[in-house]
């Protein structure tokens, strides 16, 4: 599995940041690449994403919720992936670290995705965290 990591500091307390990250269906408001997210119940969500010139749909289950420190998930369909937000209080507010691992079994698609994945995940993560911070401080 390939792993991508990204972290940023948000000028807000961990509990406030966690509360917004916990609302998974709102992530579509935080990134231009996420077309929509459907809440399916029981912490399951269907994501609709447009990336690398393709439409991607996948179902995700939240696997760990430990307020205000950890929110983790794994895919149930589509590209096999799992991710975790870890929030840590720092003097400037909250350090939010994202770790995302994914596995693509198609070699041709894997090359294209691996080339685009790191900058793409970094862009989406930055957009999400910048817009969460703007919502908290706006």
Per the prediction, the chain carries an average pLDDT of 88
Q: What is the mean pLDDT of residues 64-68?
A: 98
Read off the pTM. Answer: 0.83
Quote the pLDDT of residue 124.
80
Q: What are phi and psi of 38, to 5 degrees?
A: -100, 125
Cβ–Cβ < 8 Å for 21, 85:
yes
pLDDT digits (tens, 9 = 90+) for 83-114: 999 999 999 999 999 998 887 776 666 666 66
**Residue 92 burial (C-beta neighbours within 10 Å; 0-12, 13-18, 19+):** exposed
Tell me which DSSP letter residue 43 carries: T
Quote the pLDDT of residue 95.
97
Query: What is the distance between the terminal CA atoms of the chain, rounded to a whole angstrom?
Result: 38
pLDDT digits (tens, 9 = 90+) for 2-22: 788 889 999 999 999 999 999
Sheet holding 44-51, edge to edge: 2-10, 93-103, 80-90, 70-75, 54-66, 44-51, 34-41
Cβ–Cβ < 8 Å for 98, 3:
no
Quote the pLDDT of residue 126.
83
Bridge-partner residues for 31, per DSSP?
none
pLDDT higher at 24 or 107: 24
Quote the pLDDT of residue 114.
64
Cβ–Cβ < 8 Å for 100, 81:
yes
């Amino acid at each position: 599995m390939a792993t991508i990591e990204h972290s940023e500091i948000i000028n807000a307390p961990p509990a406030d940041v966690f509360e917004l990250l916990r609302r998974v269906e709102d992530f579509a408001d935080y990134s231009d690449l996420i077309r929509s997210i459907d809440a399916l119940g029981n912490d399951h969500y269907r994501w609709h994403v447009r990336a690398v010139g393709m439409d991607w749909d996948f179902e995700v289950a939240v696997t760990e919720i430990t307020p205000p420190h950890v929110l983790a998930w794994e895919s149930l369909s589509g590209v096999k992936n799992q991710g975790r937000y870890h929030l840590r209080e720092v003097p400037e507010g909250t350090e939010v670290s994202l770790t995302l691992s994914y596995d693509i079994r198609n070699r041709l698609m894997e090359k294209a995705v691996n080339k685009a994945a790191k900058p793409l995940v970094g862009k989406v993560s930055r957009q999400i965290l910048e817009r969460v911070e703007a919502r908290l401080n706006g």
